[in-house]
Amino acid sequence: MPTILNIDNVSKYFDRKIALKNISFQVESGSVFGLLGPNGAGKTTLIRILTQILLPDNGKVIFGDHELSMNDVYKIGYLPEERGLYKKMLIGEQLIYLARIKGLSYKEAKTRLQEWFEKFEIQDWWTKKVEELSKGMQQKVQFIAAIVHEPRFLILDEPLSGLDPVNSELINHEITNLKNKGATVLFSTHRMEQVEEICDSIVLINQGELILKGDLKSVKNRFKENIFEIGFEGVVDEKKIKNQNFEVVEKGNESFKLKSINSISPNEVLVYLLTQDIIITSFKEVLPSLNEIFIKSVTK
């Protein structure tokens, strides 16, 4: 699949402090890509480079088939973590103003915005002021501002912050729709369950350095510990199962977890269990959560 973004050996310094050090990764077109890291890792600095607020001190950013330039801001949408709406301004007027900055005519901006207001069922917000809305409601308005010009590349920084489960699902659904229409999304959040739900690939930055990258499946496989969860009926004798290749690490009334000491394949594990006359009701390999991987990688 072609790439829309190529971060090539990017570094950024503030006085003598290193904000980013030799960061390199690629983002595939039409994907949802997770940009992860603890507070102070360098994520915001990288986002500011992608939005042309800052320039890298070393390295370069390739957008499509050329080096990123100011002209590319019309193809990029950005939802910042620190919201930037004018609290006293009417919402409809404000969104038209922001859409026109992105290159839309007044007529085109109003038509698209009215379609989004209808989709989100917020038609009566057009003449409200931002300060009249809750944080979650403001978030929906800010999301529309970020995508109304139909960007090729969309940067979402904590896009679900302040949203209830219903509205979180609504925004997730629209992110998937944008992806299906060919847009690429850079998704930055501290909520790992959101990343697991929506992202195809990730990078993890810590203290300005890239410490982990890859698609979600390969990242999880890299951190797996060869543990299998087996559901059963009847009675299971732990001593009978345990041998030089396996040990029971957890046991309940209806399931137990078995660790393969010598990295035996799932098929071999299942075949072995069937020879032990166990009535198996379920069998699955236990993969670590992204939250566990995050903590392990950052604290290592």
- Both 160 and 57 in a single domain? yes
pLDDT score for 173: 92
**pLDDT digits over 109-142, tens only?**
999 999 999 999 999 999 999 899 888 888 899 9
For residues 134 and 31, which has the higher predicted lDDT (pLDDT)? 31
User: What does the chain come to in residues?
Assistant: 300
Tokens of residue 69, six digits: 């330039």
Beta strands in the chain (DSSP E): 3-14, 17-28, 32-36, 58-63, 66-67, 76-79, 153-157, 184-188, 201-206, 209-215, 227-233, 246-251, 255-260, 279-286
Q: How many domains does the chain have?
A: 2
**258: exposed, middle or buried (Cβ count in 10 Å: 0-12, 13-18, 19+):** buried
pTM: 0.87
- Both 35 and 80 in a single domain? yes
State what percent of residues in the chain have pLDDT above 90. Answer: 65
Matching residue, tokens 């991987």: 293
Q: Which of 220, 244, 274 is the last residue of a domain?
A: 220
- Both 201 and 63 in a single domain? yes
Q: What is the mean pLDDT of residues 190-219?
A: 93
Closest CA to 175 of 203, 204, 195, 192: 195
**pLDDT digits over 242-281, tens only?**
777 788 888 888 898 988 887 778 888 888 888 888 889 9
Q: Which of 160, 193, 220 is the last residue of a domain?
A: 220
- Both 100 and 235 in a single domain? no
Indicate the DSSP class of residue 9.
Answer: E
pLDDT score for 160: 87
Domain residues for 242? 224-299
What is the CATH classification number for the domain harbouring 202?
3.40.50.300
Q: What is the mean pLDDT of residues 157-164?
A: 86
| Greatest C-alpha distance within the chain | 75
pLDDT score for 246: 82
Q: 222: helix, coil or strand?
A: helix
* pLDDT category of residue 236 using cuts at 50, 70 and 90: confident
Closest CA to 229 of 159, 164, 191, 283: 283
Average pLDDT of the chain, as a whole number: 91
pLDDT score for 146: 94
First and final C-alpha spacing in the chain: 33
- Both 109 and 158 in a single domain? yes
* pLDDT category of residue 26 using cuts at 50, 70 and 90: very high
pLDDT score for 279: 87
- Both 286 and 214 in a single domain? no
- Both 161 and 58 in a single domain? yes
**pLDDT digits over 82-119, tens only?**
777 888 899 999 999 999 999 999 999 999 999 999 99
Instruction: Write the DSSP string, 47-83.
Output: HHHHTTSS--SEEEEEETTEE--GGGGGGEEEE-SS-
pLDDT score for 51: 93
Distance (Å, rounded) from C-alpha 205 to C-alpha 227? 28
* pLDDT category of residue 241 using cuts at 50, 70 and 90: confident
- Both 130 and 174 in a single domain? yes
pLDDT score for 69: 92
Beta strands in 73-149 (DSSP E): 76-79
